[in-house]
Amino acid sequence: MKKVYTNNRVRFLEVAERRTNKAIKAIRILGHCGNKFLYDYKPAEIDKILNALSSELVDLKSKLKPSFASRFSLNDNNYSVK
């Protein structure tokens, strides 16, 4: 049965914590692939994995952090690219 939340704050706290822990665990498990005794890989393959993870992290940051400005100004410290 699907859980019914009393408010959006409680829902966010529960869902965000669960998903963050799941993501951290998945990254740690992926790190096991770095064992040279068990796996054979090329540096380009590692770069491809790290670039994919970095790209997803950039997307995540842009979704979670509010955007304060849509235009660049030298007088404004809140510039963000969309």
3-state secondary structure of 40: coil
**24 in a structural domain:** yes
The residues near 53 (Cβ < 8 Å, ≥ 6 apart) are: 27
pLDDT per residue as tens, the chain (82 positions):
677 777 999 999 999 999 999 999 999 999 999 999 999 999 999 999 999 999 999 999 989 887 665 666 677 665 554 4
**82 in a structural domain:** no
Q: Do 27 and 53 meet the contact criterion of CB atoms below 8 Å apart?
A: yes
**81 in a structural domain:** no
**27 in a structural domain:** yes
Q: In the numeric block, which tokens belong to residue 71? A: 């235009």
**46 in a structural domain:** yes
The secondary structure of residue 39, as a DSSP letter, is -
Kindly report the pTM of this predicted structure.
0.71
Q: Residue 29 sits in which domain range?
A: 8-55
How many structural domains does the chain have? 1
Query: Among 66, 29, 67, 65, which Cα is nearest to 49's?
Result: 29
**20 in a structural domain:** yes
**74 in a structural domain:** no
One-letter amino acid of 20: T
